[in-house]
């Protein structure tokens, strides 16, 4: 196809686009580990309007970054949508880490199972059955304490590595150009772009962090952490509190086709 024929030319363009100006990010102490028995507790953002506004701004900035990659623009619109729909959540989380957006959460008012049992025993009653989790059109993906801890752990990992702007750009390129998605036509072209992003990241690390031979592997651990975070949880956490039921496909299509 036309995209595959121009793969070599645009791989060098990807390399130059991803090498954006560098901005240092100060490290942060890793988030403390929570008790595993409480990982199923429901949690919410302490200031949802503030966090959701920040996430929305990062999403706009992220899609603008994507649109400014020439080799992405060369893809057919259908291919662009497939890629963005599959990776908007990890790209957003990388953007939140880069912009150092901190999450402050509170537990929901629902009592824990232990509290329900102890209360029932004091009253000489049988504990009432726990209601099923609320459902949205995405399914039962309301954020739990475990979900939030996974996101906070990812952010803490990024901050502890003091990832630079260039490294974030290469990581975003690796995430964006995923050749394994079903339905893609230009798979060889997209695979070449992903490989180019990884090679650029490796070369940058070897040049800037010569004393840290394990840094490239550590940065790829960041990508593995991203894969464990559910996109529906991200949508529920950052967008549902302010705009209600979220149809991310429609929102991404509108944003991708708009001039951001």
pLDDT tens digit sequence for 31-65: 445 444 455 667 777 777 888 889 999 999 999 99
Closest CA to 171 of 255, 60, 97: 97
**Would you give the DSSP letter of residue 139?**
B
Cβ–Cβ < 8 Å for 54, 98:
no
Contacts of residue 245, Cβ cutoff 8 Å, sequence gap at least 6: 136, 137
Best mean pLDDT range from 7-21, 39-53, 217-231: 217-231
In percent, the amount of the chain with pLDDT more than 90 equals: 47
pLDDT score at 139 = 41
Higher pLDDT, 41 or 216: 216
Q: Are 108 and 46 in contact (CB under 8 A)?
A: no
pLDDT at residue 17 tops 90: no
**Residue 252 pLDDT class (50, 70, 90 cuts):** confident
Q: What is the model's pTM?
A: 0.73
How many Å apart are CA 88 and CA 175, to the nearest integer? 9
For the chain, state the CA radius of gyration: 21
- Residue 157: how many other CB atoms lie within 10 Å: 18
pLDDT band at residue 184 using 50, 70 and 90 as cut-offs: very high
User: Which of the four pLDDT bands, split at 50, 70 and 90, describes residue 25?
Assistant: very low
Least confident of 43-52, 67-76, 155-164, 168-177: 43-52
Note whether residue 16 is domain-resident.
no
In a domain, 149, yes or no: yes
Does residue 208 sit within a domain?
Answer: yes
> Residue 208 belongs to a domain with what CATH number?
1.10.565.10
Residues 6+ apart with CB under 8 A from 217: none
Residues 223 and 145 sit within 8 Å (Cβ to Cβ): no
Does residue 143 contact residue 43 with C-beta atoms inside 8 Å?
Answer: yes
Q: Strand runs (DSSP E) across 66-170, as ranges?
A: 105-107
Q: Distance (Å, rounded) from C-alpha 218 to C-alpha 226? A: 13
Structure tokens of 57?
């701004």
161 located within any domain: yes
Other CB atoms within a 10 A radius of the CB of residue 106 amount to 10
- Of 36-45, 133-142, 246-255, the range with the highest mean pLDDT is 246-255
Report the domain count for the chain: 1
Q: Does residue 6 have a pLDDT over 60?
A: no
Residue 160 within a domain: yes
Q: Which residue has the higher pLDDT, 125 or 34?
A: 125
Res. 118 pLDDT band, cuts 50 70 90: low
pLDDT at position 23 = 40
Nearest to 103 by CA among 62, 162, 51, 164: 51
Helix (H) or strand (E) holding 92: helix 77-98
Position 86 in a domain: yes
- Closest by CA to 127, choosing from 109, 111, 145, 107, is 111
Q: Which range marks the domain in which residue 173 is found?
A: 44-107+141-258
In a domain, 57, yes or no: yes
| pLDDT(228) > 80 | yes
DSSP state of 42: B
What tokens does 138 get? 């995405």
The predicted structure's pLDDT at residue 31: 43
């Amino acid at each position: 196809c036309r995209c595959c024929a121009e793969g070599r030319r645009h791989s060098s363009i990807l390399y130059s686009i991803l090498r954006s100006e560098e901005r240092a990010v100060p490290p942060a102490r890793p988030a403390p580990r929570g008790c595993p028995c409480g990982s199923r507790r429901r949690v919410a953002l302490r200031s949802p309007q503030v966090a959701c506004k920040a996430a929305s701004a990062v999403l706009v900035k992220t899609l603008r970054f994507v649109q400014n990659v020439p080799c992405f623009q060369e893809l057919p619109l259908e291919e662009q949508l497939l890629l963005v729909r599959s990776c908007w959540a990890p790209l957003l989380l990388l953007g939140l880490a880069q912009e150092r957006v901190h999450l402050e959460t509170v537990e929901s008012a629902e009592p824990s199972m232990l509290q329900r049992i102890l209360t029932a025993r004091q009253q000489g009653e049988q504990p009432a059955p726990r209601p099923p989790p609320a459902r949205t059109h995405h399914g039962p993906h309301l954020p739990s304490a475990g979900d939030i801890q996974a996101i906070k752990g990812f952010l803490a990992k990024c901050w502890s590595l003091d990832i630079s702007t260039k490294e974030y750009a290469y990581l975003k390129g690796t995430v964006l150009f995923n050749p394994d998605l079903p339905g893609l036509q230009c798979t060889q072209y997209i695979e070449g772009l992903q490989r180019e992003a990884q090679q650029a990241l490796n070369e940058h690390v070897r040049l800037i962090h010569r004393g840290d031979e394990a840094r490239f592997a550590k940065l790829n651990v960041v990508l593995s952490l991203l894969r464990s975070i559910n996109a529906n949880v991200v949508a529920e956490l950052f967008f549902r509190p302010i705009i209600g039921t979220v149809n991310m496909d429609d929102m991404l299509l509108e944003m991708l086709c708009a001039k951001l």
